[in-house]
Amino acid sequence: DTAVSQTPKYLVTQMGNDKSIKCEQNLGHDTMYWYKQDSKKFLKIMFSYNNKELIINETVPNRFSPKSPDKAHLNLHINSLELGDSAVYFCASSQWGAGNTIYFGEGSWLTVV
């Protein structure tokens, strides 16, 4: 019973392609996130959604577009992939509120060639 699940786990694609990563949580949380981990393991938030409303949108190229069809899902679509987009993308969820634990998925390893 995976709490936060994301697919695919591994994705190798060519420059210029468009790809999507899907995320679902079964914890009943009202807030979901996308984080990016670069090749040096540095983690940074990209987006957060609370009750399907965009709350945080860090400085991310507009080629990245999140979509939240409902509170349990937050997908990430990436247009015109570039070599620099190669990274691990983590979906996460929590209940909105100070100090609440954020639960992470297992990550999606994206390699752009």
Partner 1 sequence: GDSVTQMEGPVTLSEEAFLTINCTYTATGYPSLFWYVQYPGEGLQLLLKATKADDKGSNKGFEATYRKETTSFHLEKGSVQVSDSAVYFCALSLNYGGSQGNLIFGKGTKLSVKP
Q: Which stretch binds partner 1 (CB under 8 A): 14-22, 38-46, 66-74, 78-86?
A: 38-46
Chain center to CA of 29: 15
Task: Identify the CA nearest to 3 among candidates 27, 31, 30.
Answer: 27
25 in contact with partner 1 (CB under 8 A): no
Q: Which of 59, 83, 98, 113 binds partner 1 (CB under 8 A)?
A: 98
44 binds partner 1 (CB under 8 A): yes
Q: What span, in angstroms and rounded, lies between the C-alpha atoms of 16 and 42?
A: 25
Which of these, 70, 81, 67, lies nearest to 22 by C-alpha position?
Answer: 67
Q: Where on the chain is the footprint of partner 1 (CB under 8 A)?
A: 31, 33, 35, 40-45, 48, 55-56, 90, 92, 94, 96-107
